Amino acid sequence: MAIESEVLVVGGGLAGLTSALAAAREGADVRLVSYKQSSLHHASGLVDLLGYTPDGEGPIVDPYAAMPGLPDDHPYRTVGVETVREAMTLFDDVTDYRGGHTDANALVPTHGGTVKPTARYPAGAAAGLASDDRNVLLVGIESMTDFDAPQAAAHLEAAGVPFDVRGETIRFPGDLRADAKVTRYAKLLDTNGEVAVRGRTRGARDALAERVNTVHGNERRVGFPAVLGDQHTDAVRGALEDRIGADVFEVPMGPPSLPGLRLEEALFEALKEAGASVETGNPVVDFDADGGEIETVYVEKNGARIPNRADQYVLATGGLVGKGIESDRESVREPVFDCHVAHADDRYEWFDGDAFGDHPFARFGVDTDETLRPLAADGRVEFENLRAAGSVVGGYDFAAEKSGSGVSIATGYVAGNTAAMEVR
């Protein structure tokens, strides 16, 4: 027996989650299937709309104002500026992110000491904005080599931030192993678990604040790597602020990213509330189509092929990095529904000779019509009931533009909404 739904979303990243959420909130019976863990645990947790133009100009102050000037085949041009705004309103409705009060990008310091233009950021990063002129102390943890606080501070100074900044490195109380996972630090602070400090035990929050106070001067803001709790981040930051006497913020980190995992949790909770069903850990391995429409997709589970049928489908499997687009020495392809991906026959034309040049492969993905249905090489619609969302869509370089999250949310919103309207 096939598993039935009205809308089936293939892919569990930001685009897939947004698609499923948009369709479910429109009243559709939605099912999401995903092979691997969401890519959000690799993400910084920041939500970028558009930080730079395709030509590298920026940072952009107002991403919405810049969108009409993008190339015609850019996904933002396909869905339209006002639709991007609607999509971000949905995102704001289901998360506790900051930045929705303005069209302007915020400038958020990162663990490498760069300043990133971003449209939405977690509440825990709010006190760290680079537009704030209050002085900053960055605190690194000895066992967390991914965040070198003195080096990050030096890079921020070199970037010309409008505040004094310095970095100090301390040992995390309790002397966790050097290979301890970031979730271990977060759990200790979440629960305020007891740690041993100089032969006596005390709560982890007090102990951490005490160690910071040995290096804290008159800085009005103190930044930590993003490990300040998982379930109770506000309480952890509040406790540290009381004991240190300064505003506390988290600096976005590389993978595994607690802010990314928190965002994933918020979106899955919103999906649950909207009534969508989710299955992860099993890949889509085949499909049947008839008369220009997809009829069934097959999910492999414990060696069996489980049929899933829906009226409408959304492809949100990622791009080259996420294996939603695959390539070898001969060709580039979309592996789930075998949708067309435009590329030069000569693979040496897929990239630029300059390592930092304009690489065509960065824009590989399916071409779509105005409702995000993938198009064949001759311009016809591949499948009437399939829409694409996220980085499986071509026409933009999300890494150079700093636009990946925004395109995922905007195209996911359109794909999910349109699919829901088709079944109503």
Across 220-229, 292-301, 326-335, least confident range:
326-335
Q: How confident is the model at residue 329 (pLDDT cuts 50, 70, 90)?
A: confident
Q: Tell me, yes or no, if the two domains 3-100+260-422 and 111-251 fold the same way.
A: no
| Average model confidence (pLDDT) across the chain | 93
Q: At the fourth CATH level, which superfamily is domain 3-100+260-422?
A: FAD/NAD(P)-binding domain (3.50.50.60)
Question: Tell me: the pLDDT tens digits for 399-419?
Answer: 999 999 999 999 999 999 999
Average pLDDT over residues 89-111: 96
Residue 127, pLDDT above cutoff 90: yes
pLDDT the model gives residue 286: 95
pLDDT the model gives residue 353: 72
Q: How confident is the model at residue 358 (pLDDT cuts 50, 70, 90)?
A: confident
pLDDT the model gives residue 179: 60
Tell me the domain boundaries of the chain. Answer: 3-100+260-422, 111-251
pLDDT the model gives residue 387: 98
The topology under which CATH files domain 111-251 is: Rossmann fold (3.40.50)
Q: How confident is the model at residue 356 (pLDDT cuts 50, 70, 90)?
A: low
Question: Tell me: the pLDDT tens digits for 360-379?
Answer: 778 899 999 999 999 999 99
Q: In the chain, pLDDT over 70 holds for what percent of residues?
A: 98
Residue 348, pLDDT above cutoff 90: no
Question: Tell me: the pLDDT tens digits for 198-207?
Answer: 778 899 999 9
pLDDT the model gives residue 168: 97
pLDDT the model gives residue 212: 97
Q: How confident is the model at residue 30 (pLDDT cuts 50, 70, 90)?
A: very high
The span from the first CA to the last CA of the chain, in angstroms, equals: 24
Across 145-149, 308-312, 388-392, 408-412, least confident range:
145-149
Q: How confident is the model at residue 177 (pLDDT cuts 50, 70, 90)?
A: low
Question: Tell me: the pLDDT tens digits for 151-176?
Answer: 999 999 999 999 999 999 999 987 67
pLDDT the model gives residue 210: 95
Average pLDDT over residues 101-124: 95
Instruction: Report which of residues 424 and 76 the model is more confident about.
Output: 76
pLDDT the model gives residue 343: 85
Residue 37, pLDDT above cutoff 80: no
Average pLDDT over residues 339-368: 82
pLDDT the model gives residue 146: 85
